[in-house]
Structure 1
Amino acid sequence: MFTVYVLKSASLGKRYVGSTGDLPARLRQHNQGKVRATKGGRPWTIIYHELFQTNVEARRRELSLKSGRGRAELDRILERRGSPPEADA
């Protein structure tokens, strides 16, 4: 299984969308500062995730959520779940 995940930075209030085959290990990498894109926003927490059968499906969804329409869709999903959208998304 592959996971598309959304992280939220406790220090910056920003979101990060990614995909992985091992979510716990990937979250550790983000929080240990081993991922350049998220190094400055530690600590990170998972606020949303989706599971996929293949890496191709997960990457396609990740790219979708990083698009303008995808960010708007993610805002709606998080709003329904009671998590406020990113302030500057």
Structure 2
Amino acid sequence: MEQSKQYFFYVCLCADQTLYGGFTTDLKRRLEQHNSGKGAKYTRNRRPVKMIYHEEFSNKSAALKAEYAFKHQSRAKKELYLKQHGVEPNILVNH
């Protein structure tokens, strides 16, 4: 029996402290793509990126909706969302 496909919404913290939200079916491969410069254009000049959050969905539509909603929020609302989902606030502070 074929295993159902997994869909993920994820958030990366870029080297310039910006947040990038994305969608994938393979978290490890996607992070490697971002850090090798083959990921999104946005992250290409903001490496290295660190994946700080991910959420799993059973269907592609739900994962894409989560990504879209995240990307269209202010920085403050993105940080609040991450904190509400267990991401430690100190991760988001400039080091």
Identity across the alignment (%) = 31
1:61 match: 66
User: How far apart in 1 are the matches of 2:49 and 2:75?
Assistant: 21
User: How far apart in 1 are the matches of 2:38 and 2:27?
Assistant: 14
2:54 match: 49
1:26 match: 30
- RMSD, aligned CA: 2.2
State the TM-score, normalizing by the size of structure 1. Answer: 0.81
State the TM-score, normalizing by the size of structure 2. Answer: 0.77
Aligned counterpart for 2:89 among listed residues 41, 60, 83: 83
Q: Deviations over 1:24-77 (max 9, x none)?
A: 0010000000122210011111111111001111001100111126961x3113
Larger Rg: 2
Misfit runs of 4+, over 4 Å: 84-87
SS across alignment from 1:68: coil
For the structure 1 residues 55 and 71, does the alpha-carbon distance in structure 2 shift closer, same or farther, using more than 3 Å as the test?
farther
Q: Point out where structure 2 has 5 or more consecutive residues left out of the alignment.
A: 1-5
For the structure 1 residues 58 and 51, does the alpha-carbon distance in structure 2 shift closer, same or farther, using more than 3 Å as the test?
same
User: How far apart in 2 are the matches of 1:39 and 1:66?
Assistant: 17
